[in-house]
Structure 1
């Protein structure tokens, strides 16, 4: 999405930066992992296809994507100096049915691809930062997470953020969770919006 082309969002554990071409080689390495392909329902792409995908995501007004940098790790070689090593990504999609809230609702997902960055709270902070940013900049009022019912860690992650189950889709083996920004569970998110730290991002 063009709105975050030159913006990074800073947290205590992570920095969210726009997905740029310099990130593609490491991202491509991640997505050769069969486990990540399965958990993200993704097909392996060639490097050229990965670059094309990155370009399309950057221009797609229905998708907001950030690369997650782990601030405890050194910068990933070839990606510039931005305060951390590549750890994963966090995404938001405007592909929600009217019954779920239309353009005021968005589907959200997160992936921590680097083994050394897992289990440290990065996914939770990245999700909170993305939701605060999208609510402030795009007016999103409700978030939806679609999770495989056997993915216990992911379900616990979203439940810990205040998401509640509202639908099951047996044919896909999915559990759908929702979080309304205006509700009691969204109180911390509203506070985070006010103190959100954004900065200019460049490719140096």
Structure 2
């Protein structure tokens, strides 16, 4: 999505930057992991397909993605590639109802279990509401990914449906003014143009 093409979001422990072509090789190496493929319900892509996917996420008006950087590493090294730990994105699934699917992936094992995903997804939920106009969120999560299921339930999402065929649950959350304010109070973050 072009709306975030020049946006950087500085959080407490993370920095969110637009997904650019220089990020693709590391992202592609992550997605060779069978564990990540299973947790994200993804199929392996060739490097060329990954570049096409990145281009789609950058240009399509129904997609918005950020690469998650470890703020401490980024502050020390000023290198996005070395600081990459995952991604978060939203995908508009219904423009009429302003419904979007939200996704979060912490690919680097060293970054898991530190509430980094929690911070990233809260910031992304708020960004989607404020800048994309999302009114309802859905999260499709593999049955095997209990960490994500529990995280989204703590965020107020409730189960909408279960698919035995795809082995995933769909959780939903309607946006409200109270919830939006609650999201905004969770972390101090600054949205800026680069």
- How far apart, in 2, do the equivalents of 1:7 and 1:103 lie? 25
Q: How does 1:28-177 map to 2 (within 5 A)?
A: 28-74=28-74, 81=79, 85-96=83-94, 102-177=96-171
- How far apart, in 2, do the equivalents of 1:196 and 1:114 lie? 22
The verdict on how the C-alpha distance between 1:161 and 1:34 changes in structure 2, with shifts beyond 3 A counting, is same
Give the superposed CA RMSD: 2.6
- How far apart, in 1, do the equivalents of 2:71 and 2:112 lie? 13
Are residue 189 (structure 1) and residue 183 (structure 2) matched? yes
The verdict on how the C-alpha distance between 1:76 and 1:104 changes in structure 2, with shifts beyond 3 A counting, is farther
The verdict on how the C-alpha distance between 1:196 and 1:71 changes in structure 2, with shifts beyond 3 A counting, is closer
Deviation at 1:102, TM superposition (A): 4.0
**Secondary structure at the counterpart of residue 110 of structure 2:** helix
Q: Which runs of structure 1 show a deviation greater than 6 angstroms over 4 or more consecutive aligned residues?
A: none
Please list the CA deviations of residues 129-160 of structure 1 after superposition, one character each: whole Å capped at 9, or x if unmatched.
Answer: 11111111111111111112232111111112
Greater helix share, structure number:
2
Structure 1 match to 2:7: 7
**Secondary structure at the counterpart of residue 155 of structure 1:** helix
Structure 2 match to 1:198: 191
Q: Are 2:8 and 2:15, in contact at CA under 8 Å, matched by a contact in 1?
A: yes
Deviation at 1:191, TM superposition (A): 4.7
Count residues in correspondence: 194
The verdict on how the C-alpha distance between 1:172 and 1:83 changes in structure 2, with shifts beyond 3 A counting, is closer
Q: Are 2:126 and 2:180, in contact at CA under 8 Å, matched by a contact in 1?
A: no
The verdict on how the C-alpha distance between 1:111 and 1:76 changes in structure 2, with shifts beyond 3 A counting, is farther
Deviation at 1:166, TM superposition (A): 2.5
TM-score by length of 2: 0.88
Q: Which moved more, 1:66-75 or 1:54-63?
A: 66-75
TM-score by length of 1: 0.84
